[in-house]
Amino acid sequence: MVELENYQWTKGEHLIKFFKVPEAERFTNYFCSECGSPLPKIRPNVDIAVIPAGSLDDEPDFKPQAHIFWNSRTEWSCGSGDLPVFEEYPSDS
């Protein structure tokens, strides 16, 4: 996650499309209309953008701090690595 004040599109903003999942309370899925890549999910009500890790070109200068939706993970997923886990969103998000 990154604060919206520290986030900006550098190009291709006109290619952004979105789909609002009817059951989703908090997120809309954003994607590139040209290649289909997932794009950051903007959460203006809390002034953050959630950036898909797979969309990063370089190693980020921060490390994971927690796992969310822990009970929805697949059986073959990695362990928690001693990070805090949350069944859904942490209460302060």
Give me the domain span that covers residue 80: 63-93
Residues 10 and 46 both lie in one domain: yes
Residues 41 and 75 both lie in one domain: no
pLDDT confidence of residue 44 = 64
pLDDT confidence of residue 93 = 47
Residues 41 and 71 both lie in one domain: no
User: How many whole angstroms separate alpha carbon 40 and alpha carbon 16?
Assistant: 10
Rounded to the nearest 10°, the torsion over CA 55, 57, 62, 67 is 20
Q: What is the per-residue pLDDT across 35-92, written as a single tens digit (0 to 9) for each?
A: 999 998 877 677 778 888 888 888 888 788 888 888 888 888 888 888 998 888 777 6
Q: How many domains does the chain have?
A: 2
Tokens of 86: 């949350």
Residues 69 and 37 both lie in one domain: no
Residues 45 and 19 both lie in one domain: yes
Tokens of 37: 């890549």
Q: What is the per-residue pLDDT across 21-48, written as a single tens digit (0 to 9) for each?
A: 888 777 688 899 999 999 988 776 777 7
Residues 49 and 70 both lie in one domain: no
